[in-house]
Amino acid sequence: MPLALALATALLSSDLDRYVYPLAPAKVCPPISVDTKAAPSLEPWGEEAKNLATAWYPHICQLLATEDYKPLKSINFVFRKDQGAPAYASGNEISFSVEWVTAHPDDLGMVIHELTHLIQAYPRNKVDTGWLVEGIADYIRWWRYEPEAPRSRVNWEKASYRDAYRTTAGWLAWVGKKYNLSLVPKLDRALRKGDDPMPIFKELTGKDADALWGEYRAANEAKSR
């Protein structure tokens, strides 16, 4: 097992004890196939990505509300040229950009983000939740798999908790740590049911999302003074 994977797995395993939420049972990762026909030279990277996903699939299932989740029968990793996005998940497949992986071979974190999307597999929701779906996937990546990675700067004058990705992820991590570590699993459960997840914030913290964002912003602005 690569050193980075071993260290990250150990960190997550030890940190699971801090959760006040009854985590879902771990689930075995389904078989993963890797198609590198578009870039045979990336076969070693594809194998490392496969090993990482196989090791982390059970942990991600534990970090979300996946009690009734039925794992896919198989997962496919496919490398494609001239792909606009570095990676994206659809159905049981994660598609990787040949150009991106070639230029950024250390970006294994995107495997965790896209793998989280495969596990999420949420139904349509009656409200706009795309920002939260991406925020949860980045929370798993940046605050569970890569907790020591440098954080991107936030423009507090323009930012919103609905910005998705790392901005939303950082907010979720801060709210969970301050108020209730069951936040992300409970949001995940609501999303799996197709329910509006926003009442969860008030239920767990006594405050709505706007108020929590205000607290988060104030706390971070105070640090920069």
pTM for the full model? 0.90
Rounded CA gap, 70 and 33, in Å? 19
Can you give the pLDDT at residue 168?
A: 97
Burial class (CB in 10 A: 0-12, 13-18, 19+), 193: middle
Range scoring the smallest mean pLDDT among 19-33, 59-73, 208-222: 19-33
Can you give the pLDDT at residue 160?
A: 96
Torsion of CA 97, 103, 107, 111, to 10 degrees: 10
Residue 125, pLDDT above cutoff 60: yes
- Give tens-digit pLDDT for 32-73: 999 999 999 999 999 999 999 999 999 999 899 888 888 899
What phi and psi, each to the nearest 5 degrees, are found at residue 215? -65, -45
| DSSP type of residue 141 | I
Closest by alpha carbon to 8, among 119, 133, 112, 120? Answer: 112
